[in-house]
Structure 1
């Protein structure tokens, strides 16, 4: 009986050891997979247009086995992070406005794909401001707007462009800067009272869904022109994660879909649930972007 007990105990220990080895192998296998895939960092600027494409790409890459982190930063800091390798991917680079950053970091960042075209941007006024259609109409009418143009955060390339615009056309305006949300809130307060207001606008954005706006035309096109939105990566992504680079090289998303997702998110929907719904409704397109 004693021998039988010893034998059974030994067999149990062997079985437990075998199970433990299997778990170690599974664990090591999982660790190897995580190490192989690694962590990717997205730069996220404080613009509503950045969120939908970032969340869609994030969910796709997570399904591929990557850990995803997001770094909140203004656009200047985002490009600096890309150039240093602290940020891997930025889904919302506006061209030609962001050409200055590509010129500065041409050896360390890469423009890998056009996300969408036909992104209008410029100074906007409510449609009830009848006398303002073009930049020429602004000259001499600055007091109508309290001599203020409302813009987004300091450090954004659009902010510098608006300052250059004011100087080039010799306009008696001062740019008042805040966050995107702060700018929209100020403009909305004034529009609720049907006061004249001029501020920076762009598509995709819910402002064109919520308010009746018109872009102030600039016939010369020296400052504001139709933009395209691009995916940018740091210069090492192609070597470090070729399958991610391939996916992003094939990336595209319709501007109307981005705008529709922005509306849902601003109405209170969860960002990742909105992105997941878009993926499920556009799985064929996702598969095309994933093809090598």
Structure 2
């Protein structure tokens, strides 16, 4: 998801302080006996859920785990510089294509951890429009989006260029939480709303929604969510590497955790609950632990 912030320099400086606070010694996260692990993530509902689950599994194995929320572009950059150990939040091949091309040579790619993901423009099923090409004046010519640095935001900006009928529309960026709040309020009032959406996501279990058809293919087809780690992690901390390498689950698993968080459970507690109820799956992730 395209990196764009009002102050890239400020975010970059902030990253240094944030990551420094997560580790008292640069070398403490390295070496075969390292017990500190820093997982980076973006504060999207999917990544909050998945990162908390993986982090809790590592914590249960005795690691001191830090979960560091970052802007999407900075997450990739931090991992490429070895300032974070891993992330399970890469949407490929379309959504994070630009970050992947920029940083892939400086990362170790561990493959997908979830298949069947998708992004696009989403509307309540009661709206009669079914295709992006058919949009006229719905929702007062407004698309309700998420963060400016998100890949789906960049894809929607491209859609405004590709679809002539969207050229004069207003893309409102805010946050994933603000987007889902606006969606909920619109549905309660049976009003038109068009949001930048992705799945898996709890909103599809909570509301009757549909993706608008994308005949120009701006949003791409099926995606996977992938895992990446910093260079050297395999040699320096093979057990952490193996857990991240083995991590794989389903959309139903992810949505179960997301729904519990959405209902008010603390993300860490929701992760613990899922782990308790899915011991066989977690055992597959940890089967190669040698210590």
What TM-score comes out, normalization by structure 1 length? 0.82
1:145 aligned partner = 139
CA–CA distance in structure 2, aligned partners of residues 205 and 217 of structure 1 = 19
The residue that corresponds to 1:45 in the other structure is 42
Give the distance between the partners of 1:277 and 1:191, measured in 2 at CA: 30
Shift of 1:123: 0.3
SS of residue in 2 equivalent to 1:161: helix
Match of 1:228 in 2: 224
Q: Distance in 1 between matches of 2:111 and 2:58?
A: 17
| Counterpart among 228, 235, 239 of residue 239 in structure 1 | 235
- Does residue 116 of structure 2 align to residue 122 of structure 1? no
Q: How many angstroms does 1:129 deviate by?
A: 0.9
How far the C-alpha of 1:35 sits from its partner, in A, is 8.3
**1:121 & 1:223 partners in 2: Cα distance?**
6
Is 1:284 aligned to 2:273, yes or no?
A: no
> Which SS does the other structure have where 1:205 is aligned?
coil
| Offset at residue 120 of structure 1 (A) | 2.5
Superposition pairs of residues 28-43 of structure 1, within 5 angstroms: 36-43=33-40
CA distance in 2, matches of 1:203, 1:153: 17
Runs of 4+ in 1 over 6 A off after TM superposition: none
Q: 1:232 to 1:35 in 2, by over 3 A?
A: closer
Unaligned runs of 5+ in 1: 1-30
- Match in the other structure for 1:75: 72
Structure 1: distance between partners of 2:188 and 2:198: 20
Of 60, 63, 70, the match for 2:60: 63
Q: Which has the larger radius of gyration?
A: 1
Q: Secondary structure at the match of 1:36?
A: coil
Q: TM-score, normalised by structure 2?
A: 0.82
Q: What is residue 182 of structure 1 aligned with on the other side?
A: 178
Contact 2:155 2:218 survives alignment (8 Å):
no
Structure 2 gaps, min length 5: 1-27
